[in-house]
Amino acid sequence: MNSESLTLVATYRRTIQASLERIWENVRDWEHLPWLHRYSFSSIRLLDQTPGSWKAQIIMPPANAPREAVIELQLDPAHLRYWSRTLAGLGAGGEILTCLKPLDEQTTNIIVEFRVPGINAKQAEALGAAYLRLYARLWDEDERMMRRRQELIDTQRIGVEPRVLRKVKSYE
């Protein structure tokens, strides 16, 4: 995607009480979206998956007027970043870049940049504020899940390795 044609509408910064390992698990786990983030995702259907990416069709609430999109997530672990791009549907052409910086074994700084195509300054401000509210909630939910998983690993109540996911075509 040509980021030069996109407008930066907001930047979200936060310190997450989770290790890089837990964050990468979370990013790869497309299945958790409608389960953990049910206020933002109604369902997800996997379209493609590789070791460094996944693509899925998502349905977003409300149930009486659902909105659809096709998103692609690409990981760049060597550079501690990943992209989420909207390929079709609501928000098509938009891109979200997340950069990770480990502070210690259980703490990671994140910087999330939101870019969208064809938007004026007034729209950019409103959309940027909406992205910041959404991502604060999504990261609150993810952070609680990652901290709980780490607690269970630390107390040896679950294994270190995440469960092996069978290749499922949809989660609804």
pLDDT of residue 166: 45
Residue 166 lies in a domain: no
Residue 53 lies in a domain: no
Inter-axis angle of helices 20-28 and 121-154, nearest 10: 110
pLDDT tens per residue across span 2-58:
455 999 999 999 999 999 999 999 999 999 999 999 999 999 999 999 999 999 999
Residue 54 lies in a domain: no
Provide the domain limits for residue 121: 3-28+75-154
User: How many Cβ atoms are within 10 Å of 167's Cβ, its own excluded?
Assistant: 6
pLDDT of residue 109: 98
Residue 171 lies in a domain: no
Residue 56 lies in a domain: no
- Global pTM? 0.86
pLDDT tens per residue across span 130-172:
999 999 999 999 999 999 999 988 887 666 565 544 444 444 4
CATH number of 114's domain: 3.30.530
Residue 99 lies in a domain: yes
Residue 38 lies in a domain: no
The structural domain count of the chain equals: 1
pLDDT of residue 156: 78
pLDDT of residue 171: 45
Query: Measured between alpha carbons, how far is residue 126 from residues 82, 115, 162 in Å?
Result: 24, 13, 38
Residue 18 lies in a domain: yes
Are 34 and 43 a contacting pair, CB within 8 Å? yes
